[in-house]
Every structure is written in structure tokens, then in C-alpha cells.
Amino acid sequence: MTPIQITYPNMMVILPEVVLSCWVFFMMMADLFIPKEKKEINAVLGLIGLAVTAVSVFMVLSYGDISSFNDSMRSDRFALFFKLLFIITAALAILISAKYIAIEGVNWGEYYSILLFSVVGMMVLVSATDLVTVYLGMEFMALSIYVLTGFIRHDVRSNEAALKYFLLGAFSSGLILYGMVLLYGVTGSTNVYKIANFLAANDNYSNPLMIASVILLISGFAFKIAAVPFHMWAPDAYEGAPTSITAFMSVGPKAASFAALLRVFLVALPVMKPHWVAIFWGVSAISMVVGNVVAVAQTNIKRMLAYSGIGHAGYILMGVIAGTRMGVASVLLYMLVYIFMSIGAFSVIILLRKTGVKGDEIKDFSGFARRYPSLGLCMLIFLISLIGLPPTAGFIGKLYLFAAAVEAEYYYLAVIGVLMSVVSLFYYMQVAKTMYIDEEIEGQELVPSRALTFVVYFCAAATLLIGMFPDGFISAAMAAVLPI
């Protein structure tokens, strides 16, 4: 074993992480001086922090692809693309939270700090090029999310969700670690590039240890992206968590995990591709089927969206399986698209949250669009986008995913995907039907929050915008593709 070379690290690589971390520490201290009834100031501070971080991301962008910390962290367009996604996601999540957590009675400053800490974890995760930093980022992200899931301390459902998520998350971390350990055992390194070099030079294709390692890594990642059969936590966690956090975790951690998954499998393990493609194929297919079919039976809209999210994980995996530039670009593009339609949909759910009423049952939407036509229209846009119909962003995203799968000749997978999109039409339209056709019900009042309505309109606009003028976004995604 060669001794570890310690050189002065290039701090630019982790500049966004550093900036955001420092900002969060500042926020935590500032929180002490913010009176109880004005905790919204934290939200403003958080937004400012995210803006500063966004600036730092663009600064780093001009440095091109840089690695440091013994090649364990890498700042390239791929990572920066995701970091921007996280900033957008977190900003939207903060905007929809401010009023919501006050209604839930958990208006505490650390909410924002923990949320931003999880963003730091995600940023580490997407920059990680070493299994150790991958794990570090993943745990950092996950631990913050566990806390946020159980943030409504007095609500037994929230506690349950957090406990389940935590226990199963710990379990999946174990799986990932085993996979990493085996990988290290075979290749003698934890660095993704060194692993790739070793595997290219030494034939380990049929080494049972390598196969076990691949299976365990897939299991761990499949948990993070909530793919079948590692999805069991998602419906409970989505349902129990504060809705703003559900919105956040349906996008942020999922995107970060996909990024890490792409890096580990495409950069470190291209040699093993036939193995992991075979497994991912199965996971993808079964996720699309289970997610969409079970969603049909749900009456709780958060649960329904959880199952729909499982289905979406299956769709997105198609891009990973294709493994081409096109495939990776389609994953990136879909993550971008998914942010707006998912957070948008959850924002509408939060709009219906009032003290004493959860507003997360599908029947709570009865007549919603008739009473609030413009917001109803926004919700319709999100639903159509989630189904994947033009002229919305969801259509563009799915189009590229399916195209990548077809291009890489995974026809069956594409067929399953299309069929399941048809199934999803049924349950999404169920909601639309409830909104437009069912009788209005009493007490359907909105949360009086301009930030929240702004997010709804903004997301709807973004969904339509990407759907109608996708070129810029597609080329941004293509530019951020990992070098394969």
C-alpha cells in the first residue's frame, strides 16, 4: 500500500459546499436571536444562502473540470448541473415551507438549517469520486432527511415515518457498505477511477465477489431512489413526513442518488456493465409496474404520489440502463423536469393544508378546480406532465428516456414504460376528475401564503416552458453529461 499523498487541496472543488455550510452555521447562530414568531426570517436567510451558493457554483463552473482531495472530490459540469438542481429544489422547498411548518406547529429555525445541510450532503454526493466520499455524502444527506421526516414531533405518523425511514436507511447503508467493501477487496482501491483502471487491466468479470458487490451496491442505491423491491419505505415516509419535506425528498435525494449511481456504475464499473444492466433492467421494469399499478389503489394523494415516484424511478433507470450519452442526458433532463412537476403537485397539496385538516386525501380535492380555476389548471398541468403528455416538460423528459432506451435497443423496457404510462393516466386523471367534476366541498380554503402560490405558478410555468421550448434545457443536460 502506498502511503497517502497529502497535497494542498484545491478548495475550489468544494467551494459551493463550503459556502453553504458556512452559511448554515451562520444561520444556526442567527436563529438564536430570531424571536419565535418571526422564524420566517430563517427562510429568507436560507434563500439568500442558496443564492450565494448558486453564485459560487457559477464561479466554479469557469474553472472547468477539477479534482482534488486525492481525487476523491471532483467538480465537473455533471456535478455542477446537479448542484444547481439542488439549489433550485431547496429554494422551492423553503418557499413552500415557511407558512406550512407554522401551520403544523413546528416553526423552528433548525428546520431550514437541516434542510440546507442535506443539500450540502447532496452536493458532496454528486461530486464524490471515491466510494468513501460517496458514502459520506449519502449519509450526510440521509441523516438530515431522517430528522426532517420526523420533524413534526407531536405527530405520531411523522415519527413513525422517520423511524421506519431511518431503520431501513441504516439497513440499506449496510448493504452499500458491504458492496463497497467487496469492491475494495477485489480492486484494492476506493477511488472510482482506480477501480475502473484495475478492472480494465484485470479480468474480474466473473469474479463472484465482484458480482456480489454489484448486487449489493445496486440494492443500496435502489433503496435511495425508491425502486422495487427496495421501495417499501417510500409510501410510509412520504405520507408521514411534513408535506414540504415530502416534496423535497421526492426530488432532491433522488436526484443526488441517481447522480452518484451514474458515477459509480458508469465511471467505476463500465466493465461490469452486462451484469448491472441485467439487474437494473429487472428493477426498472418491476418498479414501473408495481409503482403505477399500486398507485391506482391509493386514496391518499401523498401515498399515490409516492407510488408514482417509484414508477418514475423505474422510468429514469431506463436512461441509466441505456448508459449512453443520450441516456445520461435524459436522466439529467428528467431530474430537472421532475423537480417542477413534483414540487408543484405537492405545493398544491400544501395549499389545502389547514389546521385540523390534512388535505392530503384525494377526495379533499373535490371541486377544487371549479372554486380555484387557475390553481386547478396548474395542478392539471402537473398531472399531465407526470403522465408524460405534451405540451408539458414531462413529455419531453419521457420522450428522451424512451428514446435512449430504444436507441440502446432495450425495446421491451420501452414498451413496458409506455404501457405503464397508460396505467398512470388512470390514477392521475382520477385526481383531475375529482377536481373538475366532483361536487365542491365545504371548508376548502387555501393556505394564505403568497410564496406558496408563487411556487405553484412558477412550477406550472416552468413545466410548460420546458415542454414547449426544450432546446436550451436539452443542450444544458447534454453538456453536463459525464465523459463516457
Partner 1 sequence: MINYAWLIPLFPTIAAIINGLFGRKYMRHHYSDYIATGAVMTSFLISLVIFFEVVSGSTLNVNYWDWIVSGDLHVSFGFLIDPLTAIMLLVVTGISSLVHLYSIGYMHDDDGYYRFFTYLSMFTVSMLILIMGNNYLLMFFGWEGVGLCSYLLIGFWFEKKSAGDAAKKAFVVNRVGDLGFVLGLFLLISQLGTLDYEQVFQLAPIHLTTGVATAITLLLFVGATAKSAQIPLYTWLPDAMEGPTPVSALIHAATMVTAGVYMVARSHVIYSMSPTTMEIVAVVGAITALFAATIAIAQNDIKRIVAYSTVSQLGYMFMGLGLGAYTAGVYHLFTHAFFKACLFLGCGSVIHALSGEQDIRRMGGLFPHIKLTAITFLIAALANAGIFPFAGFFSKDEILWAAFSGGHYVIWGIGATAAFCSAFYMFRLYFVAFTGESRVDHHVAHHIHESPSVMTGPLVLLAFLAATVGALALPPGNGFIHHFLGNVFGHHEHNVTGIAAEFFHKFSALVTGEPTAHGHLLEYFMMLVSLAIALSGIGLAYLMYYKKVEALNPEVLAVRFRLIYRAFLNKYWVDELYDFLFVNPIKRAGQGLWDFDGKIIDGTVNGVSRLTLIKGEITNFLDKYVVDGTVNGLAIFVDFKSRILRRTQTGDVQNYALVMLFGVVFVMGIYYFY
Interaction residues for partner 1, span 229-248 (CB under 8 A): 229-230, 232-233
**Residue 222 or residue 381: which is nearer to partner 1 going by CB?**
222
- The secondary structure of 188-224 as a DSSP string is S--BHHHHHHHHHHS--TT-HHHHHHHHHHHHHHHHH
CA distance 73 to 126: 9
| Per CB under 8 A, 368 contacts partner 1 | no
Interaction residues for partner 1, span 444-483 (CB under 8 A): none
Piece in contact with partner 1 (CB under 8 A), picked from 54-62, 94-102, 112-120, 215-223: 215-223
First to last CA, the chain: 29
**Residue 50 or residue 362: which is nearer to partner 1 going by CB?**
362
Q: In angstroms, give the least distance from the CB of 368 to partner 1.
A: 19
C-alpha cell of residue 15: 467551494
C-alpha cell of residue 85: 438542481
Interaction residues for partner 1, span 152-171 (CB under 8 A): 156-157, 159-160, 163-164, 167-168, 171
- The secondary structure of 144-181 as a DSSP string is HHHHHHT--TT-HHHHHHHHHHHHHHHHHHHHHHHHHH
Q: What angle do CA 339, 359, 88 make, to 5 degrees?
A: 20
Q: In angstroms, give the least distance from the CB of 249 to partner 1.
A: 17
C-alpha cell of residue 270: 463500465
Pairing of strands 73-75, 66-68: antiparallel
Interface with partner 1 (CB under 8 A), residue from 30, 293, 389, 415: 293
- Cell numbers 467487496 correspond to 182
Q: In angstroms, give the least distance from the CB of 304 to partner 1.
A: 11
| Per CB under 8 A, 215 contacts partner 1 | yes
Per-residue binding letters, 242-281, with partner 1 (x by CB under 8 A): ---------------------------------x---x--
Piece in contact with partner 1 (CB under 8 A), picked from 219-227, 388-396, 446-454, 462-470: 219-227
**Residue 189 or residue 300: which is nearer to partner 1 going by CB?**
300
**Residue 120 or residue 234: which is nearer to partner 1 going by CB?**
234
Residue (of 136, 145, 192) closest to 169 by Cα position: 145
CA distance 328 to 265: 12
Q: In angstroms, give the least distance from the CB of 345 to partner 1.
A: 21
C-alpha cell of residue 368: 377544487
CA distance 410 to 218: 19
| Per CB under 8 A, 441 contacts partner 1 | no
Q: In angstroms, give the least distance from the CB of 240 to partner 1.
A: 9
Number of alpha carbons in the 13 Å side-chain half-sphere of residue 131:
27
Maximum C-alpha span of the chain: 72
Residue (of 8, 149, 128) closest to 75 by Cα position: 128
Helical spans, DSSP H, in 297-392 = 301-322, 325-351, 368-371, 373-387
CA distance 378 to 345: 8
Per-residue binding letters, 169-198, with partner 1 (x by CB under 8 A): --xx--x-----------------------
**Residue 176 or residue 341: which is nearer to partner 1 going by CB?**
176
**Residue 136 or residue 163: which is nearer to partner 1 going by CB?**
163
Q: Determine the length of the chain.
A: 484
| Per CB under 8 A, 20 contacts partner 1 | no
* 265, 207 contact by CB (below 8 A): no
CA distance 316 to 231: 15
| Per CB under 8 A, 211 contacts partner 1 | yes
Piece in contact with partner 1 (CB under 8 A), picked from 31-39, 204-212, 390-398, 437-445: 204-212
| Per CB under 8 A, 225 contacts partner 1 | no
Q: In angstroms, give the least distance from the CB of 222 to partner 1.
A: 8
Per-residue binding letters, 370-409, with partner 1 (x by CB under 8 A): ----------------------------------------
| Per CB under 8 A, 297 contacts partner 1 | yes
Residues that bind partner 1 (CB under 8 A): 156-157, 159-160, 163-164, 167-168, 171-172, 175, 208, 211-212, 215-216, 218-219, 222-223, 229-230, 232-233, 275, 279, 282, 289-290, 293-294, 296-299, 361
